Structure 1
């Protein structure tokens, strides 16, 4: 079965048909789409899958997943009564808000799928930011990856899965075979696409077998493999595949082309090679290239480069406690000051021991609870993120890019205000640096200070980094997660002692950059000079930060580059 066209919705329909034939073998579907009528058309078709639908929650507990004690029945009957969990029987597990899935839940679901118990996971990813996505432990096990965020409703149709044809395909599926070299070709193609998981080519082969069963064939055809590549491997690609170079000709081989066979006559060159003579891997590679948007892959590559330097500059760090935030599974603990008892979990922990405790106890009680049974509520919250902008206001920067830098910082400040982030502004010029704006959420005050930022004088880069480090340490002590964003042309010429010594200024800047990295503060470096500066690239390496040279960018492009680096 081949895809009749290259539309996203066509791939969705073909993929759902394959999933309905072999739900456990394909693992499931990662559907990245906001809640709306387009996503509803996909979820409505899930009823045709040959398994019951069960809904999960990203904060679901172990007892709901694996089963546990039925507390009400146990207490009323005086006997231990257990209830089955959602994973007790094979089912289609629908996970809304999948981007919020905790690592523990992802590991449990992945383990249940690896056991071969017949589960199929439908992950509904509603993430708005690039960093909000399904954990890799689950995406690696789901054959189908679909992104419907940019698909208008007018380009969709109701999905109808014919039950009779799908039932016949399920009966035929065990008899469908593939050539021995097919899996090798799929694996090599996955490597060329930058897909390093061994599950991906195996899932592609299972998808091809399901499509062959739908087509009524007992052997996987090239069209089935082509469709499987577009459905499974292409969405996972992290690089655009380059054509393999032609092998060098041996030196003892005659470079003269062979004489044409007179029996073939004047056959046209395009007809001299049949489709069967073309290597399967080349056919699949062309199918993958037709599906891959080159600009998107370029952006993915740029983001990987931005992340290569060191720590992430994303959202605030997570903190666990027992006071406030998003609830997470409770743990055994003591009733100390500030601790909140999880009554239901405590009763569940005590229930299995009631018979023994009643026999051992000298007191007549309806319920025996001990300190080992105590379960303490836990919550998880994210700290506020602080963006510390360190702006070069020296003479060289003022002559080149200070106006664009001001405009870019102003745009970034507005975006930070919309995300409710804190911002701070450090400017360095002449012989030192100044904290123009302490951490704040006031957009009006920030714009006023930025507009009054003068330009001129030397470039005390080390002083700017030192002030940024001090602000970052103070803000971390107040529970924030600081990120340092340095915008400069890189020509440091003023040392920390105020002397005009380029060599000493470079050493001081490197020492301050090392201190920032040792503190674990994420950062990024924007080179806003006319030409990329090698010394600034070395400084970024010392910081463990992404280096972004933007010699001819305006304020909008500068802010876009910084936003992409922060969200990567």
Structure 2
């Protein structure tokens, strides 16, 4: 006797069958699985779809997606001839390596999906780490989020037969309320997810041959659409005491087995959904939050002409390091060949003019510099410095993967000193942080000025600076070194405005025992983020900085 297929495989096949019934309403499937038997079997099941599938590329351009000039046909016929794009394909679209799709492609695919295209998108998320994920613009529009990464060959069952798209029953007002209640209980904040769950419930009823929704359809929609997006575990319903000895009279619209067809008991539904939660739901929720919060960890995008991610070419002049985009150049010249041959019949071959020249362009990401400016003054200086040391070391541990550099500025007394120039060397960092002095007054303005100078220097070297300021906010030394609280606050505000004008990202971490309103105002002046972390340790500081940078 063959073993039963894995529950994850059963969910995946159910999602495929629902997509086939309502492709335009459900959008598609986000499948997280690397190359293996489970993903191969899933794609094989997709071949049973009524229309053949077409593959996209995560770096494809607009001409391949939306269509454009057919260069060969245009040159052969002498008149402009267009070709259709993959967006006009009448079957499923498969996007491999969805985690590498550019934001531009994600936005264009989202626009195609919003245009009520009745063909599903299958996004294959092949990310190896938690911070590699498909673009949120696509993930939010795909009804089903599946994970087949842990499935083996023995977990795979029979492939389903996919039905052609058909009409699905309409959801009742009671069904809408039930799904909205479940979405709120599971912490699903996206309104689009709740709408997709409603469509999934209707499709599930059609799949089972019913013309109305039942409790099992709501449960199936919650399991397939809402639970993968859950951010919390719903609390169990409170038990209600029976006030009367006699049972209540059933409503007039009560259906079979005492369950109303248009109203489902909320306590039973929440218990049913809680029973569907996987055992490791808390770990999955934590991993999901980490993936949603994680960013690319890189700096600003820069245009180049030699290396990086290819982006659409532009007209230009040859010379220097510029590289010719031959295909784009021929495509620009092709529509004019007939007119050019008639005006100059003595010339043979293709005539290329200066206005046709297109140059290749690439997009690079600059390295990011995290500038830690640490208040080393006062009686708690050594504690703050110890936290800063630990935070810098923790941040630097991930710098190799995120291409971050780290620098450290300490300010106390009447000076601010660059204690650690920009570096990615963990060994050098530990040596420099071994012993740092503390105590004295708080020259906050001087610390901000030193950070501004370092940020400007980093930008000149092609880096993207971000300031992380750790202080309790009690500034009492002005820029000229004079002990004056009023001038110190004014000078700090001026430095904050200069940092904002330089477009330097900023995070202000309040290390005081109580939140300091002046620091919150200082963060607003820098157009940065204010975080109050009293009694924070190095891990909390590092986590706060990472969350603010990626958020």
TM-score by length of 1: 0.80
Where does the alignment leave 5 or more consecutive residues of structure 1 unmatched? Answer: 246-256, 266-272
Aligned length: 535
Measured in 2, the distance between the counterparts of 1:111 and 1:263 equals 53
Task: Give the deviation of 1:25 after TM superposition.
Answer: 3.1
Match of 1:229 in 2: 222
Task: Give the deviation of 1:410 after TM superposition.
Answer: 1.8
Task: Give the deviation of 1:342 after TM superposition.
Answer: 0.9
Measured in 2, the distance between the counterparts of 1:264 and 1:323 equals 77
Task: Give the deviation of 1:425 after TM superposition.
Answer: 1.5
Q: Deviations over 1:421-450 (max 9, x none)?
A: 222211112221101222233333322221
Cα distance change of structure 1 residues 564 and 33 upon mapping to structure 2, 3 Å threshold: farther
Deviates more, 1:180-189 or 1:361-370: 180-189
Match of 1:454 in 2: 437
Cα distance change of structure 1 residues 534 and 399 upon mapping to structure 2, 3 Å threshold: farther
Measured in 1, the distance between the counterparts of 2:153 and 2:477 equals 60
* 1:499 paired residue among 468, 479, 482: 482
**Superposed counterparts of 1:353-368, under 5 Å:** 353-368=336-351
Match of 1:118 in 2: 118
Task: Give the deviation of 1:83 after TM superposition.
Answer: 4.0
Measured in 2, the distance between the counterparts of 1:303 and 1:520 equals 27
Match of 2:207 in 1: 214
Q: Deviations over 1:444-470 (max 9, x none)?
A: 332222113222222222211110111
Task: Give the deviation of 1:483 after TM superposition.
Answer: 0.7
Deviates more, 1:276-285 or 1:414-423: 276-285
The answer on 1:347 being equivalent to 2:345 is no
Cα distance change of structure 1 residues 46 and 491 upon mapping to structure 2, 3 Å threshold: farther
On the 8 A contact 2:6/2:151 being kept in 1, the answer is no
Q: Deviations over 1:224-251 (max 9, x none)?
A: 1222133223444567879999xxxxxx
Q: Deviations over 1:158-200 (max 9, x none)?
A: 153321xx43xx47x4264433543465457657766665543
**Superposed counterparts of 1:352-501, under 5 Å:** 352-501=335-484
Match of 2:254 in 1: none
Task: Give the deviation of 1:78 after TM superposition.
Answer: 5.5
Cα distance change of structure 1 residues 260 and 443 upon mapping to structure 2, 3 Å threshold: closer
On the 8 A contact 1:17/1:161 being kept in 2, the answer is no
Measured in 1, the distance between the counterparts of 2:501 and 2:22 equals 50
Deviates more, 1:416-425 or 1:154-163: 154-163
**Superposed counterparts of 1:68-467, under 5 Å:** 68-75=68-75, 82-127=82-127, 133-147=133-147, 152-153=150-151, 157-163=155-161, 166-167=162-163, 170=164, 173-174=166-167, 176-183=169-176, 185-186=178-179, 190=183, 199-236=192-229, 260=244, 275-276=259-260, 279=264, 291=277, 314-335=297-318, 337-467=320-450
Where does the alignment leave 5 or more consecutive residues of structure 2 unmatched? Answer: 250-256
The answer on 1:14 being equivalent to 2:7 is no
Match of 2:252 in 1: none
On the 8 A contact 1:90/1:117 being kept in 2, the answer is no
Q: Deviations over 1:35-62 (max 9, x none)?
A: 5565555444333333312111121123
Cα distance change of structure 1 residues 186 and 339 upon mapping to structure 2, 3 Å threshold: same
- Three-state SS of the structure 1 residue aligned to 2:403 is coil
Measured in 2, the distance between the counterparts of 1:407 and 1:69 equals 57
Match of 2:505 in 1: 522
Measured in 2, the distance between the counterparts of 1:158 and 1:19 equals 20
Match of 2:494 in 1: 511
**Superposed counterparts of 1:7-86, under 5 Å:** 11-34=11-34, 39-40=39-40, 42-75=42-75, 82-86=82-86
On the 8 A contact 1:397/1:488 being kept in 2, the answer is no
Cα distance change of structure 1 residues 533 and 231 upon mapping to structure 2, 3 Å threshold: same
TM-score by length of 2: 0.82
Q: Deviations over 1:486-528 (max 9, x none)?
A: 2234333333232334444333333322332332211223334
Q: Deviations over 1:276-327 (max 9, x none)?
A: 49656666666666649578768989999x99xxxx9952000123233211
On the 8 A contact 1:320/1:381 being kept in 2, the answer is yes
- Three-state SS of the structure 1 residue aligned to 2:155 is coil
Deviates more, 1:292-301 or 1:507-516: 292-301
Task: Give the deviation of 1:383 after TM superposition.
Answer: 0.9
Task: Give the deviation of 1:343 after TM superposition.
Answer: 0.9
Task: Give the deviation of 1:414 after TM superposition.
Answer: 2.8
Task: Give the deviation of 1:153 after TM superposition.
Answer: 3.8
Task: Give the deviation of 1:380 after TM superposition.
Answer: 0.6
On the 8 A contact 1:461/1:509 being kept in 2, the answer is yes
Match of 1:562 in 2: 545
On the 8 A contact 2:376/2:382 being kept in 1, the answer is no
RMSD value, Cα? 4.0
On the 8 A contact 1:328/1:380 being kept in 2, the answer is yes
Match of 1:248 in 2: none
- Three-state SS of the structure 2 residue aligned to 1:388 is strand
- Three-state SS of the structure 2 residue aligned to 1:479 is coil
On the 8 A contact 1:495/1:508 being kept in 2, the answer is yes
